[in-house]
Homo-oligomer: A and B are copies of this chain.
Amino acid sequence: MTRQRGILVVVSGFSGVGKGTIMKCLTEKYDNYALSVSATTREPRPGETDGRDYFFHTADEFQQMIARDELVEYACYCGNYYGTPRKYVEEQMDRGRDVILEIEIQGALKIKAKYPDALLLFVMPPSAQVLRDRLIGRNTESPEVIDARLKRASAEADGIESYDYILVNDDLETCVDELHSLISCQHRQVYRNLEFINKVRTEIKEF
């Protein structure tokens, strides 16, 4: 089989559903994934490192990146800009690595418009109650922030129909393996294998 270009994978999901942990486990367990680091204008939170968690930029710098078409998508959320730097995404895909973007639905839809063969995944909790319990259990946020997140989750949920597949984060290990399996399967799509198919086809015709 010939080497394929990497697949662009968008992972979205409710706040508190465990996206960060899933991504961490996925990249630790499998080495064919490249996790895109977003650019943002929001302030770093305690413990966040520039270039690892986000690329932190001023609003002016961010506007320049937009003007130079250096972002494959960007969106404004809660007064701050978030965007995906193009260079890293394209380079990694060219190298055959599957690139994962953990972004919101606004960005996801822009990605799908620009890269029609991107894979859009939405991580669900096993139930609404579990999501709520996880948000409360974190104990890092005030009740007001939790309420705001649940409201946001409610709004995000309206967009699930635009995604290709859902993942259910009940057991973390299972969820990570299913994510890997979902992405691996897309490499078997006929249109991603035309080079190999045509090679075999031509050879069979020559017998």
Contact = CB atoms under 8 A, between A and B. Distances in A.
Given A128-B204, A203-B128, A204-B154, A165 B190 contact: yes
Which of A129, A154, A161, A184 counts the most chain B CB atoms within 10 A?
A154
A112 interface: no
A190 B128 CA distance: 17
Contacts of A182: 185, 188
Interface string A120-140: 001011111101100000000
A68 interface: no
A156 B133 CA distance: 54
Residues of A in contact with B, size category: 35 or more
A45 B167 CA distance: 46
A203 B200 CA distance: 51
Given A160-B197, A200-B124, A165 B181 contact: no
A26 to B, nearest CB: 16
Interface of A: 1, 14, 122, 124-129, 131-132, 150, 153-154, 157-158, 160-161, 163-168, 178, 181-182, 184-185, 188-191, 193, 196-197, 200-201, 203-207
Given A14-B204, A166-B196, 8 more contacts: A153-B204, A157-B205, A158-B201, A160-B190, A161-B191, A164-B189, A181-B185, A185-B185
